[in-house]
Amino acid sequence: MAELSKNMTIAELMEVAPDKINILLMAGMHCIGCPASMGETLEEACMVHGIDIDDLMTELNKDDSKVEEENPEPEEETDQPEE
């Protein structure tokens, strides 16, 4: 995935990286579906919500595959005894 930019609109982010929407929600941007926010850049939205744009961009541009490698899902337990 290409690096995300603070000059992208929220609509562009939702189109190219829908898996990142939860980061916006967790940061306090709960108006993601608001028509006005569709033309707002990430930087403008951060100013409105009092969010540090640099911190948000760091989170948005984290490589999710590295996070998964660091925190692998636990193996499923089976009911079969080990031999």
Domain regions of the chain by residue span: 10-63
Q: Model confidence over 53-67: pLDDT tens digits? A: 999 999 999 976 654
More confident residue, 28 or 83: 28
Residue 66: what pLDDT?
Answer: 55
pLDDT of 81 strictly over 70: no
Distances (CA, A) of 24 to 17, 33, 76, 78, 83: 12, 12, 31, 37, 48
With contact defined as beta carbons under 8 Å apart, do 17 and 4 qualify? yes
80: pLDDT strictly greater than 90 = no
Q: Which pLDDT belongs to residue 68?
A: 47
Instruction: Note if the pTM is more than 0.75.
Output: no
